[in-house]
Structure 1
């Protein structure tokens, strides 16, 4: 008779399984660590985060340094999706002012872009049309025609002619 692990124990071991990536250098004294849990929706994100940060702190201690958080990104558990926590940190000396604490840069889980363009706003209205210089000869012909038809008097014709010739 073979002994089999009870099904409940097998499920428990499976749910607690984690895939932890090695600590990866990202630049001068900046590193990243990532851990994915096979626990699915049953994963406690707080525990997952604590394990990752503890590994980063242990790594820093092994180098005689302190791990200062730079950025973190989490993928929360959901049906069909394994939760993940990615942590980026910088190694600094214990007496470095940054060693006393640091803040994480929140990275968005989703970026929504609005590709609609706002209507153009005219700050300065366009300049009014500049009056084109009048063709004096054409204007004089029009005035003379009005005088000949009796629409304007000879005095009005002379007054308008003076204005045109003076450039008004």
Structure 2
């Protein structure tokens, strides 16, 4: 296992659509292990393959609280089958460090994906896990959480994020 470098906005690769995984092989399992290790080290609750520079439809999630045992989900070729309701919760992203904003999402979703054994899984997710699935699947389609913001909020984001990047450069 190895930590992978997380790409940051405005990296162009983050805007590309990922390709379906055709074989759940050792290479995909190794990528999934690396992604989980990278997500935990960051720390975060989800990570999509494009965030580590791989345009494959693979995500890892773990929304367990710190006082709970890990509940890692590895989802290959994930898709949302249905969703209900709407919530506006604050989101952040490992690829957009230091910026948080409220985003409209479905609080309940039904998802389908392949696990690391290549078996089809369907499950219902709610709350943070539902939001995390939507956020990470967006990454597979080249969409960032800031793309869900209004025009005004996107403009404010770009100004604020420019300052965040400048501060990081000064720290180096």
TM tier relative to shorter chain: under 0.3
Q: Answer 1 or 2: higher relative contact order, Cα 8 Å, separation at least 6.
A: 2
| TM-score (normalizing by structure 2) | 0.22
